[in-house]
């Protein structure tokens, strides 16, 4: 099964509009000729509108880092799928930082997924276990539970538009990446196996599953060379154009 790789940048709460514009101006010309890979940048929401015009017609697609599930209403500080749909293509849903610090649950993740899909956004669904869960041997059960809870009630054609990012919590921002073999074991042995069980073998085969957690230019290739890993969700190393470029090139 040939799956086009995706390399996505999660800038988190980094970069003002002018810093984001400077990044795109430096980065974009360098990827115009790059081979088959989807490149996604998820800046803070404030930078989506200014970047949209800059990336139009080019290789960079934009994504948001969060979304609310309701279409509109009294939800101070939140952005709806249709608001983001005017500005970007992708949306990260269920990042572990949002689960840990902002009360996001499997239930809200599931609502965010279905309302984003109805608005035509392409969700990047994040799942990942804590160090405690890994050490207790609970990784497989926990990740399968996260995947099933998030995708509950969705049709196969809907899940075909989702990308999953496997991000072990203990590997995020720590410099301590999972080993490529451990990551691939969860991606194929748990995530794709769960999809095959709950949906179908072909849904599992078509799903692009990324690895995230301390991906750097130095280790990117060791993940991308494994068949089951279809790219990366990159935090820290995506903030510098040359470092993110090196990771994009490794994925081609
Ligand atoms: P990191 O973050 O690359 O800085 O570990 C990854 C993420 O949180 O998506």
Interval 174-192: pLDDT, tens: 999 999 999 999 999 999 9
Q: What is the pTM of this model?
A: 0.98
Which residues partner with 38 through β-bridges? 6
The conformation of residue 6, written as its DSSP 8-state character, comes to E
Torsion over CA: 97, 105, 209, 144 (sign): positive
The per-residue pLDDT of the chain, averaged, comes to: 97
**Rounded to whole angstroms, how far apart are CA atoms 248 and 35?**
10
Q: What is the pLDDT of residues 43-55, one digit of tens each?
A: 999 999 999 999 9
Dist. CA 74 → ligand 1 center (Å): 32
Whether 236 lines ligand 1, by a CB cut-off of 6 Å, is: yes
Q: Which of 130, 117, 57, 55 is nearest to 90 (CA)?
A: 117
Place of tokens 């691939």: 184
Number of C-alpha atoms within 13 angstroms, CB side, residue 56? 7
So which residues are the catalytic ones? Answer: 95, 167
Stretch 94-106: mean pLDDT, rounded? 97
Q: Is a pLDDT exceeding 80 seen at residue 193? A: yes
Stretch 28-53: mean pLDDT, rounded? 97
**pLDDT band at 149, cuts 50/70/90?**
very high
Q: Which of 252, 250, 247 is nearest to 8 (CA)?
A: 247
Atom of ligand 1 nearest to the CA of 175: 5
Q: What percent of the chain has pLDDT over 70?
A: 100
What is the predicted pLDDT for the residue at 2?
84
* Alpha helix stretches (DSSP H) within 152-213: 156-159, 180-186, 193-198, 201-206
**Rounded to whole angstroms, how far apart are CA atoms 27 and 62?**
14
More confident residue, 244 or 2: 244
**pLDDT band at 241, cuts 50/70/90?**
very high
**Rounded to whole angstroms, how far apart are CA atoms 95 and 227?**
24
């Amino acid at each position: 099964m040939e799956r086009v790789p995706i390399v996505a940048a999660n800038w988190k709460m980094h970069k003002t509009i002018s810093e984001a514009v400077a990044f795109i101006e430096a980065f974009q010309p360098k990827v115009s000729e790059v081979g088959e890979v989807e490149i996604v940048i998820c800046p803070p929401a404030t930078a989506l509108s200014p970047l949209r015009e800059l990336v139009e017609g080019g290789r960079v697609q934009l994504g948001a880092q969060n979304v609310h599930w309701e279409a509109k209403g009294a939800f101070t500080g939140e952005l709806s799928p249709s608001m983001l749909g005017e500005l970007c293509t992708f949306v990260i849903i269920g990042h572990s930082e949002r689960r840990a610090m902002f009360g996001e649950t499997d239930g809200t993740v599931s609502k965010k997924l279905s309302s984003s899909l109805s608005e035509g956004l392409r969700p990047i669904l994040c799942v990942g276990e804590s160090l405690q869960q890994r050490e207790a041997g609970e990784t497989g059960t926990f990740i399968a539970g996260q995947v099933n809870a998030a995708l509950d009630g969705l049709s196969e054609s809907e899940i075909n538009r989702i990308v999953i990012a496997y991000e072990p919590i203990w590997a995020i921002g720590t410099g301590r990446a999972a080993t490529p073999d451990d990551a691939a074991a969860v991606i194929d042995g748990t995530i794709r196996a769960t999809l095959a069980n709950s949906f179908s073998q072909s849904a599992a085969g078509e799903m692009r599953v990324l690895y995230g957690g301390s991906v750097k230019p130095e280790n990117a290739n060791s993940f991308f060379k494994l068949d089951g890993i279809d790219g990366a969700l990159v935090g820290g190393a995506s903030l510098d154009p040359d470092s993110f470029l090196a990771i994009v090139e490794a994925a081609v």
